Structure 1
Amino acid sequence: MTLHTPPPTGPVLILDDVRDGRIHLAALFIAPEGAPPAPIETADGAVAPTPLARYDAATVWRARFAIPADRTSTYTWRGETHEVAGDLRADLRIAYVSCNGEEIGDLEREGSERNAMWARLRDEHRRAPFALLLHGGDQVYADEITDGHPLSDRWPDDIPTDPSPDALAALRHHLRERLLERYASLYRSPEFAWVAARVPSLMQWDDHDICDGWGSLPTAATRSQVGRTLFAAARESFLTFQHAAADGDLPRRFADRAGAHLGFTVDFPGLRILAPDLRSERTRTAVMGAGGWAMMDAEAARDAPGHTFLMSSVPLLGPRMSLLEALMVAIPKMQKYEDDLRDQWQSRNHREEWRRMLRLVRAVARSDGHDVVSLSGEIHLATRAVMDLGAGQELHQLVASGIAHRPPPQAWARTLGALAVLGEDPLPECPIRVARLPGQPTRYVAERNYLTLERTGDAWAARWELERSGTTSPLAL
């Protein structure tokens, strides 16, 4: 009997950078051990993948190549030719997704139900191609990777105080293999795989890429040896699977090539994608550390005409979550949700830092000829908000969440809508209002969704694709 080696998973296209009139890409593959993927064939020649990370029964491979940034291009792998919409000069279409999974039982979900919105995005790309796919956080739900190992089985409630080096090494191995399982399951799903082979991705992480509430959990958990082992394994996997990179080999778009934080910037003609890292340096009292703020200050001072899309993995604008946070702390049965609210910019623990970020964004928006749009996910609802910047300018925030995570109950959407009525003004001269999506009766829409951003000439517009309600009318930005 002849045994057939299963084909590699991939290619998944990752955008390394845009420079010198070229789009620099990495194609990621997950292949069974001993079965390297075939080369990528381009107009410039063939590129053989090289190993990036090794696991018990699989190896992750990467092939780097470049295509022109002024036209549609193709590449071929294993006899199949894929088209990439690489003209970045004028009209442009971008998709934004977040929350691609669920906390419990995600690997056991039926595929066509789980990936229904990916199928819709795939079909939309066939009608009108996207040049870029932005992932706003929680690309993978790693919450269950701690199960099945004695050091982490009760994470984060019961943590061993002095595990041996051998036990920690065994834990790291366990976590890496479980992370591989989750990423491989995600990347081999047919709906995602079709899109990922044709549309380059830029990915920003959030807590579930590590574990629920990372950075907002008690310090005793996150700074423990088990906690640091968990973070290190998740960070390595984030670089491997979401950036096709490794320490010492980060793409040029990363602000800190040493990787102390993983914020990055990519410049398109007339568009800057700015993605600060809101997890690597996070603590219970800080969203970003010195490295992240240095990046943001430098970007605020840099001339970048046109638009900036600021990727904030948790919403930058929102209702008075601090009121709900205070209520939950006062009610013992609700205290388990405190970490979820501490995760938000609007938390009372982050208010001064939130004001700092809003002032920085306001300064960027007020610079000559510039517009800023904030893109967020995380809350498993679709919504938008507007901050009045004065002098006729506004900061738009667009929230699309989640593409695979099922929505929360309608009662939660109504609760947030009621809070939004109260308004919020962390900068008193710049009031914030939570607004309705075009054509929607409520401020928060409890449907699975993704966002499309389209530039026609110099004008940008946004549309939400809602699972039940369909496509919204365009919102001018």
Structure 2
Amino acid sequence: MATSPLVLGPMIRYVDETSASVWVETRSAARVSIRAGGRRWEAGTFAVHGHHYALLELDGLEPGTVTPYALDINGTQAWPDSGAVFPFPFPPSMIATLQPGKPLRMAFGSCRTSVPHDKSGNRTHGVDSLRAYALAMASGGDLPWPDLVAFLGDQVYADLTSEQMQEFIRARRDIKEPPGEELKDYEEYAHLYYLAWSDPANRWLLSTLPSAMIFDDHDIRDDWNTSLSWKKEMEATSWWHGRIVAGLASYWVYQHLGNMSPQERAGDAIWQVITRHAGGDEIDVSDELDRFADRADQDPGSYRWSYCRDFGDTRLIVVDSRAARDLTPDRRALVDRAEMDWLDDRMRGGFRHLLVATSLPFLLPMGLHYVESWNEAISQGAWGKRAARAGETLRQAVDLEHWGAFQNSFRDVAGMVTEVADGKRGPAPETITFLSGDVHYSYVSEVERTSGSRIVQAVCSPIRNPLPRLMRSFAAVMSYGLATPVGALVARSAKVPDPPFRWSGVKGPWFDNNLACLEAAPEGLKLWWQSGVVEGGDHMHPGLKLVSSVTVVPRGAETGGKRL
């Protein structure tokens, strides 16, 4: 059987009312074209470290239309691939433009490992909820189709690799030499993305459902940028520089390039290099991209990974809470000053719903929030140098590095959110909702307020990487029950001020592999979580079950105080 000229994709990325972006990886230099609705769009590939990519910008589309498409490579159809063997026939891949005035419906989640979907893989990692969702959508059921899926971090695990990834590593280098089973360079990142996106069901889903993405730590390494001492420890190794350059360069290619609108891409320096050579021979941007990635790591202010999109009466702000950190001890910040100013400009009222997507939960369970704020204080010297060293060890050991561990940033954003909710930045939205992942359990919390917007935290984690049962118990103990008053006491002992507001749980926690959805429905913001379930021992064709749901209604519209 002939090898397909298409390695990965097509993936539908940024889509608005009249344009769509389609990303592909090809086996060699090529001209790539999309045929849809009687029209044709074409682009040449660009090369990065021996790999070949194209991003096609489809313009002049009609709003609110759903159009089948085909993809050609060098004039020959490569997608749909008639030679592909799928579990069952998948529907045609579509380009669905946004319909003006239609309320947003989107899916979101984080933390997805790439292991086989057979009985063994499901036993160790659970059913891939994204794949279960794809199969349910492809089967022609009555599930509502989202306008977008947002992947909120840990799309790939560069530090905790699967057996399949380790086989690839062993074939090209001594896995006993640093960095061992972890990723070393761009070639290994490219293979990791291949493992993540090549399953037929997920590949079909991503060929039709537009996607937005942001990284978290495992896209690079556990605890990425947790503190200055962590960064110095990594930079002292022989392999870290190559790793961070490859990680950010591959992230730009595989994830970030498709996050940008055509207008934003036009202002991107690397994309400008690529487009200046459009129509000629394939350009290799490896050196430019590596220099860019190195600069983005050393000087976070030189590039912005965050982005903002408006969907009618709903605004979605996607915040980089990893690369944009300021780790200088006397001005520690989860997002640096320039990034905070950017966020401040976009935290505005006048929308029905304001969604703030950040891989790390802004509102952890209060007990854990207190513990993280206490840990930050002692790590910064509140109890002396010896306690500071112990605090840093604890911080890295149990991942105490969320918003609560960066109190200056937490309070800055809390101030912005409160002003928006109180109508001081334009008409107050019905809801302000933080969408997050990372913690490997899902929950919903709400700030305790009697007026203005509802402020909600909705977490969906993991898509496929469940916590071991012992860790589930630890997470529950650390987050709930006595953890709140005890955490408050230890935080005050380190002279940490109380949070500017209180919040409490509405739903959760639950530890299933999940994919969450939300909808700006007439009655309020609807949120629900779905998980894959094996039926009749058929591991390759899991079903989909509802795990939990909640509707956040406008203030004053509750019935008996309930919002469920």
TM range (shorter): 0.7 to 0.9
Alpha-carbon distance, 1:234 to partner:
1.1
Question: Quick check: 1:420–1:433 contact (8 Å CA) kept in 2?
Answer: no
Moved more, 140-149 or 225-234: 140-149
For residues 200-240 of structure 1, give each alpha carbon's deviation from its aligned partner in whole angstroms, at most 9, with x where no partner exists.
00101111111111101513135558534422221111111
Change (3 A) 1:361 1:215: same
Question: Quick check: 1:75–1:82 contact (8 Å CA) kept in 2?
Answer: yes
- Separation of aligned partners in 1, 2:158 and 2:176: 13
Moved more, 273-282 or 106-115: 106-115
Aligned to 2:548: 472
SS in structure 1 at match of 2:481: helix
Aligned to 1:120: 132
Write the letter of the residue equivalent to 1:8.
V
Aligned to 1:86: 97
- Separation of aligned partners in 2, 1:322 and 1:338: 16
SS in structure 1 at match of 2:525: strand
The structure 2 residue matched to 1:358, chosen from 392, 411, 414, is: 414
For residues 264-312 of structure 1, give each alpha carbon's deviation from its aligned partner in whole angstroms, at most 9, with x where no partner exists.
0011111111012111222443211122112111112x56422111001
Alpha-carbon distance, 1:144 to partner:
5.2
Give runs of aligned pairs for residues 379-418 of structure 1, distance below 5 A.
379-391=439-451, 393-409=453-469, 410-415=472-477, 416-418=479-481
Change (3 A) 1:214 1:363: same
1:299 is aligned to 2:310: no
Alpha-carbon distance, 1:251 to partner:
4.8
Question: Quick check: 2:447–2:504 contact (8 Å CA) kept in 1?
Answer: yes
The structure 2 residue matched to 1:74, chosen from 55, 65, 68, is: 68
The structure 1 residue matched to 2:150, chosen from 134, 139, 143, is: 134
For residues 121-180 of structure 1, give each alpha carbon's deviation from its aligned partner in whole angstroms, at most 9, with x where no partner exists.
114434321111111111111115897779995469xxxxxxxxxxxxxx99x5100100
RMSD: 3.7
Question: Quick check: 1:272–1:304 contact (8 Å CA) kept in 2?
Answer: no
SS in structure 2 at match of 1:122: helix
- Separation of aligned partners in 1, 2:206 and 2:267: 26
Change (3 A) 1:476 1:429: same
Alpha-carbon distance, 1:450 to partner:
1.5
Write the letter of the residue equivalent to 2:415.
R
Q: Give the structure with higher Rg (CA).
A: 2
Write the letter of the residue equivalent to 1:55.
H
Write the letter of the residue equivalent to 2:524.
A
Give runs of aligned pairs for residues 185-264 of structure 1, distance below 5 A.
185-216=195-226, 218-223=230-235, 226-244=239-257, 251-252=262-263, 260-264=303-307
Aligned to 1:61: 54
- Separation of aligned partners in 2, 1:186 and 1:49: 25
Aligned to 2:275: none
Change (3 A) 1:361 1:193: same
Q: How many residue pairs get matched?
A: 440
Change (3 A) 1:124 1:461: farther
Question: Quick check: 2:358–2:435 contact (8 Å CA) kept in 1?
Answer: yes
Give runs of aligned pairs for residues 279-428 of structure 1, distance below 5 A.
279-284=322-327, 285-300=332-347, 302=348, 304-318=350-364, 319-321=366-368, 324=371, 335=393, 338=396, 340-347=398-405, 350-367=406-423, 368-370=427-429, 371-391=431-451, 393-409=453-469, 410-415=472-477, 416-418=479-481, 421-422=484-485
- Separation of aligned partners in 2, 1:186 and 1:272: 29
Question: Quick check: 1:413–1:446 contact (8 Å CA) kept in 2?
Answer: no
The structure 2 residue matched to 1:30, chosen from 25, 31, 34, is: 25
Change (3 A) 1:49 1:8: farther
- Separation of aligned partners in 2, 1:333 and 1:291: 28
- Separation of aligned partners in 2, 1:332 and 1:428: 24
Question: Quick check: 1:98–1:135 contact (8 Å CA) kept in 2?
Answer: yes
Alpha-carbon distance, 1:6 to partner:
5.5
Change (3 A) 1:70 1:414: same
SS in structure 1 at match of 2:45: strand
Write the letter of the residue equivalent to 1:82.
S
SS in structure 2 at match of 1:341: coil
For residues 376-398 of structure 1, give each alpha carbon's deviation from its aligned partner in whole angstroms, at most 9, with x where no partner exists.
00011111111124425420110
Change (3 A) 1:41 1:254: closer
Alpha-carbon distance, 1:72 to partner:
3.0
Percent sequence identity over matched residues?
19
Alpha-carbon distance, 1:25 to partner:
2.5
Question: Quick check: 2:414–2:500 contact (8 Å CA) kept in 1?
Answer: no
- Separation of aligned partners in 1, 2:447 and 2:526: 17
Change (3 A) 1:182 1:304: farther
SS in structure 2 at match of 1:215: coil
Change (3 A) 1:5 1:191: closer
Structure 2: unaligned runs, 5 residues or longer: 72-76, 81-91, 270-301, 380-386, 489-495, 534-544, 554-564
For residues 312-355 of structure 1, give each alpha carbon's deviation from its aligned partner in whole angstroms, at most 9, with x where no partner exists.
110000223365556898797993663653321112xx112211
SS in structure 2 at match of 1:186: helix
1:460 is aligned to 2:525: yes
Moved more, 126-135 or 334-343: 334-343
- Separation of aligned partners in 2, 1:242 and 1:339: 29
Alpha-carbon distance, 1:260 to partner:
1.6
